[in-house]
Chain A
Amino acid sequence: MTAYDEDETGGNGGNGEDDATGGPADGPGDARPGSFGGPRIPLPRVSVEDSGRPLPEVAPAALEHHVLTSLLGAWALAACSAQEAAAVEDHLGECDACADEALRLREAVTLLQRPESLDLDPGLRTRVLDGCLERRPPRIPVPEWAAPYDAETARLDALLQDIGDSDWHAPVRLRWFGEDGPASRRTTVAGVIAHLLAVDGAVAVALGLTDPLGDITASSRAPAVRTEAYWRGSHAPPTRLVRAPWREQSHDIVRTVSFTGDAGGMPVSYGDFELPLRDAMLDRAFECWVHAEDIADAVDYPYEPPSARHLNGMIDLAARMLPGVLAARRRAGLAAPGVRPHLVPAGKPGRSLRLEIEGSGGGEWLIPLDSPGAVGSAEHEVAHVALDGVEFCRLAAGHVPPAEAAAGQVGDREAIRDVLFAAAGLSRM
């Protein structure tokens, strides 16, 4: 656990004030404009003769021409000593070439501007790309089912672009709902990106791309196993350097799935279960959003839920996975046995719970309760649960305990409890 908890190695050695080099040139006569509570942005240095102030009581240093020339930049920025400035100014009266350059450089200083904060509207990407694709339809589109992953990785990358070096080491607690209840694992922002890199890597491998784990061997494709192996196998705790390989891999995945051409049916192994590629891509989009929120919380940035269309796809995936999780929990003795277990043949309607998801991205799903093969049926509805879409996703991410999920409920209590626990059981590290 220690490896990713804390690893600050300090930045650049923290140079303090250093006057070891100071000679007479560093004397108190240094009159940088603004250094006594003046404007924050220094004005171009006004030559002392024009300023109305008394000439400094310093003799210009006797400097050679090449030294004077080399000082022109520092002089224009008011970043040399008073003696040096005086020497430069003396020289400018005698040397046309230096005077021309001095003027140019001083004008150049006025062009320095603080970079504007470039918080691009995260919705702009979709608008720009949609606008382009309307004007010229793509010959090789990004499949509909890969769009949420494309959008979510881009949103997370924009957040990573904005955060500072030290933010990468901010502590993050990954939370999920295990078989024994809430579980968590401590890491850092960089550790979360390493986690996404390692698990997205399972999709990359299925697509024939390079495994980000490289030489590191993981005993299974399970997300937690791959992540722990990657964390352990790295020589040092992850830093911001992990961003580039994560982003490159996500771009490569989007690119490669555009060429698969089999509607995303190819199986992707997660160790103890498989998902077809199109669902694996939705799952990775969901995880990307969930962990982006973890990161945003850790560094105190705002972060919005996915677009309604993408959120709807993620909820739909969870709803489709619920019957399988219910059955697994029942086999493990964690859920109540069905009323007529095994009596619902595959493809036939069975006892169902109506899952109503409110808000953007919402909708209604009928969850068959007695067998993953059964078909949800309104006629056999035994319970009705209503939740907000984002709340449901937090439940499915294991961030809200099932007992505390803000859900309106009517009908069979036990069925409702089982479904809420199964939703939480979808979560993993």
Chain B
Amino acid sequence: MAKRNIPLRWDRKMQQRLARGEAAALGELYDRYASLVHGLAHRVLADERAADRLTRDVFAHVWEHPDAYDPRQGPLRTWIATLTHRFAVQRLRATGTAALARGGPGTAEELETRVRQAAVAARADYIVQSMPAPLRAALELAYFQRRDYRQTAADLGVTEDEARRRLRLGLQLLSTARDAATAAPESPGAPPGYGGAA
């Protein structure tokens, strides 16, 4: 519990500084979260300039509404990821709908599928980034470097039991990205994928 309070203290302080209108705080906020925001936006929108614009919108929203963040609901990072996710999915759906209205190819159902897949992919990214580093390292070895779990254990200097445990737990966390997607797309609050792994 004590450990969790330290980042939350930073979060509270940051919120106060933003509320006071301290431009230096906005710069620090950007430095800490820009790659998270831009990465999620890019995963959903698959377009560099659209991700740039969305990044601008997310930071503008935080800067204009610092009080909308409630530290009791969780870390600032989770709140910002959730905002980014919501804005990006809205943007993807809005541009897709506009394209359909102009007579673009595809159907509304296909668009909805695309939106859902993009949302799951973005949530999965966030979960992987946010999961405890030992789990991420095990998945990285087993999946991207194609080590089996015995080699993974040796690489990480842990027992084989532990390597199996980490791989399973990592995938269990990752699988929650799909649960969130089956919920109503505009459901209020943090999608489960963001709350769970932060």
Contact = CB atoms under 8 A, between A and B. Distances in A.
Tell whether A and B belong to one assembly: yes
Contacts of A70: 161, 164-165, 168
B23 interface: yes
Contacts of A22: 150
A51 interface: no
A365 B56 CA distance: 37
B151 A255 contact: no
A251 B29 CA distance: 11
Interface in A244-264: 247, 251, 254-255, 258
B175 A79 contact: no
B128 interface: yes
> Which of B28, B152, B157, B171 has most A Cβ within 10 Å?
B171
A121 to B, nearest CB: 7
Contact of B125 (A113, A131, A138, A140): A113
Given A132-B26, A140-B22, A107 B31 contact: no
Contact of A251 (B31, B55, B139, B178): B31
B147 interface: yes
A3 interface: no
A139 interface: yes
Contacts of A21: 150, 154, 160
A235 interface: no
B121 interface: yes
A215 interface: no
B194 interface: no
A35 interface: yes
B142 interface: yes
A74 B165 CA distance: 9
A79 B124 contact: no
26 contacts: A12-B157, A22-B150, A32-B146, A74-B149, A74-B164, A76-B171, A79-B149, A79-B167, A80-B149, A81-B148, A105-B168, A105-B172, A108-B171, A114-B144, A116-B42, A125-B31, A127-B56, A128-B30, A128-B60, A129-B59, A132-B64, A138-B26, A139-B20, A142-B23, A251-B31, A258-B24
Interface of B: 20-28, 30-31, 34-35, 38-39, 42-43, 52, 55-56, 59-60, 63-64, 120-121, 124-125, 128-129, 139, 142-144, 146-152, 154-155, 157, 160-161, 163-172, 174-175, 177-178
Which 8 residue pairs across A and B have the least CB separation, nearest first?
A73-B168, A139-B21, A73-B167, A111-B124, A138-B23, A108-B175, A74-B149, A108-B174
Interface of A: 12, 15, 17-18, 21-22, 26, 30, 32, 34-35, 42, 70-74, 76-77, 79-81, 101, 104-105, 107-109, 111-116, 118, 120-121, 124-125, 127-129, 131-133, 135-142, 150, 154, 157, 161, 247, 251, 254-255, 258
Given A128-B60, A135-B64, A142-B23, 20 more contacts: A15-B154, A35-B146, A70-B168, A72-B168, A80-B148, A105-B168, A105-B171, A112-B174, A113-B125, A127-B52, A129-B26, A132-B60, A133-B63, A137-B21, A138-B21, A138-B22, A140-B20, A140-B21, A150-B27, A251-B28
